[in-house]
A and B are shown apart, each in its own frame.
Chain A
Amino acid sequence: MPRVWILPAVRAAVLAGAVVLIAFLPRLVSEFRVSQFTYVGIYFIALLGLNILTGYNGQISLGHAAFMAIGGYTAAALILGRPGFELLGQHPSHLLPDSAMRPVFAIPIAGAVTGLIGYLLGIPALRLAGVSLALATFALAVSLPSIAKHFEHLTGGGGGLSLPLAKTPFGLDVSTSHWLYYEAWVCAAVLFVVAWILVRGRVGRGWRAIRDGEVAAVSSGVSPAVYKTLAFGVSAAFAGVAGALFVIQVSYINPDTFPLSLSILLLASVVVGGLGSLSGVVVGALVLEFLPIYAQQPPLVHVNLAKQASPVTFGVVLILIVVLMPGGAAGLLRLLARPLALLGKQR
C-alpha cells in the first residue's frame, strides 16, 4: 500500500498547530507584540488576495494599497456616519449613512464595496495584459491620494478622518488590543478558508489555466473575461477587508495611510512568500511586518542602521529570491517536504 496519507496528515498537523499557536499567542507575548501580530494578520489577508490575482491568475497588480485604501475609507465612513463627520467639524456627503455603525459590521461591507469596485476595474483591465495592467494599477495607486484629497465630503480631505478609539464590543471581557488581534485573525481564518475553497475548485483551475496559457484555456472553454474579472473582484475584496481592519486598528485614515510604497512592498512580499501558494503567504506577512524593524537593528549584532536600510534589504532580498529561489518561502518548504512525499510514494 502506498502511504498516501503521510503528506496530508503532516499538513493537517501543521495547520492545527498554527491555529493553536495563533489562538494562544496573545497570552505568551507582550501587548506591544500583540499589536504587531495584529498587523501580520491584516497583511496576511491583503497578501492572500494579491496572491489570488498574481500568483494564481498571473495578473500583476502594483496598486493593492489603493484597494486597501478604498476599504479603509468605506469602513471609516460607515463607522463615523453623518453624525461622526459633523462631530469632526466636516461637511458630510449625502451618500453617508444617517447613523454610526459598529466596526464589526463595517468590515464585511467594506470588503463587499471594494470587491465591487475591483470587479468593475477588472473590466477595462481585460484589455490590458501583463505589463500594461501593472502600469494601470500602479497609476491607480499613485493617483488615489489626490483623488481622496479631492472628495473631501467623503474622505475628510488631506486632514483625514479620526475614528473613535476601538473598544471591545458586546460587553466581552477581553482587552482592546486582544480583541483587535482576534478580530483580524478570525477574518484571516475565514478568508483563508474561502481562498482555499476557491483555489482548489473549478474556479481555481480556471484561473491557473488562464495564467499558464490563455489561448489553451479559451479553446478548452474557460472564459478569460469571467475568470479574470472575478479574480480582480475577489482580490480587491480581500484587500478591502484588510484596509478596514487596518483603519480600525489605528483609528485614523488619511490619503497617506496606504502609500504607494505599500503597494510595491505587498507585491514583493507575495513573491517572497511564494507565488501561487497559500501557506507561503504567512511568511510574506511576517516579512512585511518584521523585516523593516530587524533590517534597522539586526539581531545578534549591535549596529544601528539608518531607517533606509530596510528598503535596501527588502529590494536585495527580493532580487535574490526571484533569481535563486523562484518558489519563494513556499518553494523552500516544498523542497524540505520532498522526503516526506517520497516516503508516501514508497510501497
Chain B
Amino acid sequence: MPLAFSWADFGQQVTSGLAAGAIYASVALALVLIYRSTDVVNFAQGEMATFTTYIAWSLMHHGLSYWPAFVLTLLIAFGGGVGVERLLIRPVERRPEIVIVIVTIGLLIALNGLTGWIWGPEVKAFDSPFPNNTVDVGGVVISVQDIGTFCVCLATVLVVWAFFRFTTVGLAMRAVAVNPDASRLMGVRVGWMLALGWGLAAVLGAVAGMMAAPTVFLDPDMMLVILIYAFAAAVLGGIDSPVGAVVGGLVLGVVINLLGRYVNFVGQELRLPSALALLLLVLLIRPSGLFGRVAVRRV
C-alpha cells in the first residue's frame, strides 16, 4: 500500500537499494570480466558463488571465525575459477559460442545439484560479520548490515580495478581482452591470463555470495535471482564495460527498490518482471547498453 511520502523513508529505500545493488554490481562485474576475456556469458557464475558460500559456511561450522573463513574461501574460489577455465572451458575455447554457453549451463546444472547433494536442500542461516543494529543519519535509519555489505563489495571492486590498472599482470590481461593474437606475439601467456580472469570472477562472485547470504539465507538456489539481476545490470551498463556493470548494478538495485515501494501495481511480486521489462526497453533503444561500445559489423 502506498504510504504518505516521506524523505526519511525514501532515503531508507535508496540506501537498502544501494546495498543490494552492490551485490548485483559484484556479480555483474564478474560476468563482464569473463565476457571481455572469453567472449562468453558464464551462466554458472551464480552457482559457483553459491558453492563457495557453502564452503564458507562449512569452514565456519568447523570452528573458523568469520574473517579467516572469508579469506580462505576467496582463495578456494580463485583456485576453483582457474580450475574451471583450465578443465572445462579450454577444450571448447575455439568452438562456436553456443557450445561454450552450453558448457556453462551444464556446469550450472551440475553445481546446483552437487550443492544440494552435499549440503542438503534445506535453508541454512549464514552469520553476518556486521552487528545487527542501525544508525540514524539525519532521520534516515540505515542498517549496519547494509553499510557493511556496500563497503565490502565496493572495496573488492576497487581492488580488482587497481589490479587491472596498476599491475603488469593486469595490463597483460587487458591486452589479452583487446587482442589475443598480438598479445601472444608480445610474449603474454594468453591461456593463463584467461584462467586468471575466471579466478578473479569467481572471487567477485564469492564475495557477493557471502554478502548476500545473511539476508537471503543460504540455499542451493539463492543466487538465481541475484544472477538475473546481475545479468540485467551488466546488459544495462553494456556487457563489455566494467564501469557500466558497477553503475548498472547500483542503479538497478535502487530502481527496483523504489519501484516495489512506490508503484502500487508493481508491489513485491512484479519487481523482477518490471525490472526486466525496463531492461528490454533500454536494449531496444540502445542495444549496446548505456556504457557499451557500439559494435560495428564488418561485412
| Cβ distance B34 to chain A, nearest Cβ, rounded Å | 11
Complex interface bits, B260-279 against A, C-beta within 8 A gives 1, otherwise 0: 00000000011011001001
Question: Chain A, 233-266, contact with B by CB distance < 8 Å: what is the 0/1 string?
Answer: 0000000000000000000000000001000110
CB within 8 Å for A315 and B109 given contacts A128-B283, A134-B101, A308-B114: yes
User: B105 to A264, Cβ gap below 8 A?
Assistant: yes
Question: Which of B91, B109, B231, B270 counts the most chain A CB atoms within 10 A?
Answer: B109
Whether a CB of chain B sits under 8 angstroms from the CB of A117 is no
Name the residue of chain A whose CB is nearest to the CB of B225: A142
Which residues of B265-299 are within 8 A (CB) of A? 269-270, 272-273, 276, 279-280, 283-284, 287, 297, 299
Contact A58 B98 (CB under 8 A): yes
Q: Measured between C-beta atoms, what is the minimum distance from B244 to chain A in Å?
A: 14
When C-beta atoms are compared, the residue in chain B nearest to A275 turns out to be: B98
B243 within 8 A of A: no
Are the C-beta atoms of A127 and B97 separated by less than 8 Å? no
Check B110 against A319 for contact (C-beta < 8 Å): yes
Q: Is the CB of A135 within 8 A of B231?
A: yes
A60 and B232 alpha carbons, distance in the complex (Å): 17
Q: Which residue of B lies closest to A326 (CB)?
A: B99
Complexed CA–CA distance, A143 and B102 (Å): 22
Majority SS at the chain A contact face: helix
Partner of A308 from the list B117, B280, B287 (CB cut-off 8 Å) is B117
Indicate if A267 sits at the interface (CB-CB under 8 A).
Answer: yes
Q: Taking the nearest CB of chain B, how far is it from the CB of A159, in angstroms?
A: 15
Q: Which of A142, A307, A318 contacts B228 (CB under 8 A)?
A: A142
Q: Flag if A318 contacts B97 (CB, 8 Å).
A: no
Contact of B280 among A124, A264, A314 (CB under 8 A): A124
Shortest CB-to-CB span from A280 to chain B, Å, is 15
CB of B273 within 8 A of CB of A265, answer: no
How many Å lie between the Cα of A306 and that of B43 in the bound state? 25
Residue of A nearest to B97 (CB): A130
Whether A131 touches B41, Cβ cut-off 8 Å, given contacts A150-B270, A308-B117, is yes
The answer on a CB contact under 8 Å between A139 and B110 is: no
CB contact under 8 A between A265 and B109, given known A135-B231, A142-B225, A308-B117: yes
Instruction: Give the docked Cα–Cα distance between A267 and B225 (Å).
Output: 20
Residues A268 and B224 in contact, CB atoms below 8 Å apart: no
Asked if B272 and A142 sit within 8 Å, CB to CB, the answer is yes
**A139–B97 contact, CB under 8 A?**
no
Kindly report which residue of chain A lies nearest to residue B281, judged by CB atoms.
A124
Give the nearest-CB partner of B234 in chain A.
A135
User: Do B231 and A138 have beta carbons less than 8 Å apart?
Assistant: yes
Bound-state Cα–Cα, A304 to B287, Å: 49
Question: Per a CB cutoff under 8 Å, which of B40, B41, B99, B121 touches A135?
Answer: B41
How distant is the Cα of A138 from the Cα of B103 in the complex, in angstroms?
16
Tell whether, in the assembled complex, residue A215 and residue B106 are in contact, meaning their CB atoms are under 8 Å apart: no
Residue contact B116 to A131, C-beta cutoff 8 Å: no
Interface residue? B204 (CB, 8 A) = no
CB distance from B291 to the nearest CB of A (A): 15
A14 to chain B, nearest CB (A): 28
Q: Which of B97, B108, B270 contacts A264 (CB 8 A)?
A: B108
Question: How distant is A165 from chain B, measured CB to nearest CB, in Å?
Answer: 31
A139 touches B228 (CB 8 A): yes
Q: Residue A176 at the B interface, CB < 8 A?
A: no
Q: A143-B272, A310-B113 are in contact. Are A323 and B91 (CB under 8 A)?
A: yes
Q: Which of B191-216 contact A (CB under 8 A)?
A: none
Give CA–CA (A140, B232) in the complex, Å.
Answer: 12
B106 touches A318 (CB 8 A): yes
Q: Is the CB of A322 within 8 A of B116?
A: no
Cβ contact of B98, chosen from A60, A308, A323, cutoff 8 A: A60
Q: When the two chains form their complex, are residues B103 and A322 in contact, meaning their CB atoms are under 8 A apart?
A: yes
Q: Does B62 contact A (CB under 8 A)?
A: no
Bound Cα distance A283, B47 (Å): 28
Whether A318 pairs with B273 at a CB distance below 8 angstroms is no
Residues of A within 8 A of B97 (CB): 130-131
Cβ of A337 within 8 Å of any chain B Cβ, yes or no, is: no
Bound CA span A58–B101, Å: 12
* Whole-angstrom CA separation of A135 from B114 in the bound complex: 24
Q: Which residues of B contact A147 (CB under 8 A)?
A: 270, 273
List of B residues within 8 angstroms of A150 by Cβ: 269-270
A309 touches B117 (CB 8 A): yes
> Once the chains bind, are A311 and B109 in contact (CB under 8 Å)?
yes
- Residues in B with CB closer than 8 Å to A140 are 276
Q: A326 and B41: CB pair below 8 A?
A: no
| A215-B95 in contact (CB<8A) | no
**Contact (A268, B102) CB under 8 Å given A146-B273, A308-B117:** yes
Which residues of chain B have a CB within 8 Å of any CB of chain A? Answer: 40-41, 43, 88, 91-92, 95, 97-99, 101-103, 105-114, 116-117, 121, 224-225, 228, 231-232, 235, 239, 269-270, 272-273, 276, 279-280, 283-284, 287, 297, 299
Q: Which 3 A-B pairs have the closest CB atoms?
A: A315-B110, A311-B113, A318-B106
A-B contact pairs, 16 of them (CB 8 A): A127-B284, A130-B97, A131-B239, A136-B283, A139-B231, A150-B269, A306-B117, A307-B116, A308-B117, A311-B109, A311-B112, A312-B117, A315-B107, A318-B109, A319-B88, A323-B91
